[in-house]
Amino acid sequence: MTPTEPTASGGWLAAFADCRLAPDLDDFLDALRVEAGVSRNTTEAYRRDLTRFLGHMTERGRAGWNDLGPRDIVAHLAALRATGAAESSVARCLAAVRMLLRHQIGESRLSRDPCALISAPVLARHLPSTLTIDQVEALLSAAAQPTWIDARDRALVEVLYATGARVSEAIGLRTDALEPGLGVLRLFGKGGKARIVPMGGRAAEALGTWLETWRPSLPGARGRPEVFLSRTGRPMDRTAAWRRIKTLALRAGIEAELSPHTLRHSFASHLVSGGADLRAVQEMLGHASIRTTEVYTHLDADQVRSVHRLFHPRG
């Protein structure tokens, strides 16, 4: 095998052991974590992508940053595609490589950006799955039994739908982040960024029932700051939360495809369909860019087109 031929991913990772640029990768990841406030999960995703990239560059005989050229980057992306990687994964890898190389330029280790003329893959825009208002009501009604677990699950679903919180944000909710009198919650999103979001009366009622009637009976609950706890009094984790939501969906007879963000998407879609200002929805969702929020205007446009097709004489 010549140095320019990509091997399987295991070969790249093995080659990384001999990579002279590895310490600079650690420096970049430390900067992401400490200076940019990037979350641990995102940092680890960058580490995986960039370990593979640098391993491949080592196989190609590139020992220094200034040895890298545009053809090396293109070859690595082609090698990813050859393993069956989705275009979204290729685009994510290219974004990580761009950030890494720009960091090296900033540190005076690299004199030019080999990614400068490489375009990102054009990705198909996938609209998020959402529930109808009736399906959300059915999901909530499925947690109507007078038990501690139904009280907790109903409060969790109410919070997710009322605030647009991510599942991870909801299970990380603490009792000192609740402002019942003001009807708001304080959520901590990506990078630990806090935001204040309004909470409707139904969500506040469900939370109150859970916190005042059921949660205190769980072992060790009084010493825990987290709102949502398991049977043993430990904080509920993301997997358990999502498993419970899927259980409620089955109980409610909901056949629509669900994802961990379905209630978040439904929250945003229903607000936009009802005429909510897109900037306000952006703030509530904690999106850094309005472009991320704009996908919900496309959902609304699809609904308008469906109505047109159904009721217009020439639809």
Interval 66-99: pLDDT, tens: 999 999 999 999 999 898 888 888 888 998 999 9
- Across residues 182-202, what is the average pLDDT? 87
Q: How far is CA 131 from the centre of its chain?
A: 19
Residues 138, 283 within the same domain: yes
Judgement on whether residues 88 and 178 belong to the same structural domain of the protein: no
- At 314, is the pLDDT very low, low, confident or very high (cuts 50, 70, 90)? low
Question: 33, 251, 261, 298: which one is catalytic?
Answer: 261
113 located within any domain:
no
Q: Could you read off the pLDDT of 150-175 as tens digits, one per residue?
A: 999 999 999 999 999 999 999 999 99
Residue 166 bears catalytic tag: yes
Answer yes or no: 190 catalytic.
Answer: yes
Q: Which of 226, 90, 102 is nearest to 156 (CA)?
A: 226
Task: Supply the CATH number for residue 144's domain.
Answer: 1.10.443.10
Q: What is the pLDDT of residues 128-140, one digit of tens each?
A: 788 999 999 999 9
Q: What integer pLDDT is reported at residue 299 of this predicted model?
A: 59
**pLDDT reported for residue 9:** 45
Contact criterion met (CB below 8 Å) for 120 and 186: no
238 shares a domain with 91: no
- Asked, for residue 196, whether it belongs to a domain, the answer is yes
Q: Is residue 143 part of a domain?
A: yes
- Going by pLDDT thresholds of 50, 70 and 90, the confidence category of residue 309 is low
Tell me whether residue 115 is in a domain.
Answer: no
Is residue 265 flagged as an active site residue? no
DSSP assigned state of 83: T
Within this chain, do residues 101 and 137 fall inside the same structural domain, yes or no? no
Last residue of some domain: 106, 123, 144? 106
SS3 174: strand
Domain assignment present for residue 123? The answer is no
| Whether residues 76 and 142 fall in one domain | no
- How many CA atoms within 13 Å lie on the side-chain side of 181? 1
Of the pLDDT bands very low, low, confident and very high (cuts 50, 70, 90), residue 36 is: confident
Is 116 within the bounds of a domain?
A: no
How high is the pLDDT of residue 162? 94
Residue 248: the pLDDT is 95
Instruction: From 164, 148, 173, 153, select the one nearest 227 (Cα to Cα).
Output: 173
85 with 29, same domain?
Answer: yes
Contact call for residues 31 and 104 (beta carbons, < 8 A): no
Least confident of 48-57, 111-120, 241-250, 302-311: 302-311
Structure-model confidence comparison of residues 199 and 310, the more confident one: 199
Query: Containing domain of residue 76, as a range?
Result: 9-106
Confidence of residue 4 (pLDDT cuts 50, 70, 90): very low
Residues 100-126, mean pLDDT to the nearest whole number: 84
What is the pLDDT of the chain when averaged over all its residues? 85
Q: Is residue 228 part of a domain?
A: yes
Indicate the number of domains in the chain: 2
Beta bridge partner(s), residue 186? 196
| 261 is annotated as an active-site residue | yes
Catalytic residue among 190, 224, 234, 298: 190
Whether 193 and 303 map to the same domain: the answer is yes
Statement to judge: residues 148 and 276 lie in one domain: yes
Q: What percent of the chain has pLDDT over 70?
A: 88
Tell me which amino acid residue 19 is. C
| 6 pLDDT more than 50 | no
In this structure, the answer to whether residues 186 and 281 fall within a common structural domain is: yes
Catalytic position from the list 56, 154, 264, 265:
264
Is residue 42 located within the same domain as residue 162?
no
Q: Which of 166, 215, 265, 270 is catalytic?
A: 166
The mean pLDDT value for 209-219 works out to 94
302 pLDDT higher than 80: no
Query: CA end-to-end span of the chain, whole Å?
Result: 60
Cβ proximity of 97 and 28 under 8 Å: no
* C-alpha distance from residue 98 to each of 19, 25, 194 (Å): 19, 13, 28
Q: 150 and 100, same structural domain?
A: no
pLDDT of residue 8: 43
Q: What is the mean pLDDT of residues 263-288?
A: 87
118, part of any domain:
no
Check if 264 is active-site. Answer: yes
Query: Which pLDDT value is given to residue 2?
Result: 38
- The pLDDT value recorded for residue 305 is 54
Domain C-terminal end among 71, 106, 141: 106
Q: Which of 48-52, 64-68, 257-261 has the lowest mean pLDDT?
A: 257-261
Per-residue pLDDT, averaged over 185-200, amounts to: 87
Could you tell me if 195 and 247 lie in one domain?
yes
pLDDT attached to residue 1:
35
